[in-house]
Amino acid sequence: MAAATPALLEAAEFGLVRSGTLAARSTVGGKPQRHGRGHGEGERVLLEQQLTHQIIGAAIEVHRAIGPGLLESAYEHALCHELALRQVTFERQVDLSLFYKDAPVSGGYRVDLIVAGVVLVELKAVAELLPIHEAQLLTYLRISAIRVGLLLNFNVAMMRQGIVRRVL
């Protein structure tokens, strides 16, 4: 196991390291029911958690190195470089296809990053995250059929103030 870097320690402090299993809750006849996850489901959730941990650790490292105040594209280049150094696979500037009643809707929708095919990452360099930024992330998640998304705003004093994680 690799030694903990300051970025990973901050990620752990932020509560990104979690253990245990998740179970869905439902009701049958008004009584709560617990449903365990299937073998493949649990592995997928663990992979998503590990990836978000790695992505956030990489984002914290980038932010510590170059700080706030740059354009989004600079953070995208730096984060991609950091992910590559960590041997994390990703796709950059991925086109999203949108359809309305089986008709394609053009609009040039692009996701900043898709990591390992299971985590969607939207980058921002704004004074503050607004509800429209989170709405964009949630819409991209629905369109792409990816469950987990990160919204990372690099224009903050401490990176952990600019992290939003959402799961559909």
The model's pTM: 0.75
Given a contact cutoff of 8 angstroms between Cβ atoms, the answer to whether 92 and 78 are in contact is no
Structure confidence by residue, pLDDT tens digits, 3-44? 444 443 343 333 333 222 222 222 334 333 333 445 578 888
Domain ranges of the chain: 6-167
Neighbours of 124 (CB within 10 A): 22
CB contact set of 22 (below 8 Å; sequence gap of 6+)? 37, 45
CA distance linking residue 136 with residue 21, whole number of Å: 29
Query: How does pLDDT run across 49-68, given as a tens digit for each residue?
Result: 999 999 999 999 999 999 99
Residues in contact with 118: Cβ distance below 8 Å, sequence separation at least 6, in sequence order:
44, 47, 48, 51, 146, 147, 148
What's the pLDDT band for 150 if we cut at 50, 70, 90? very high
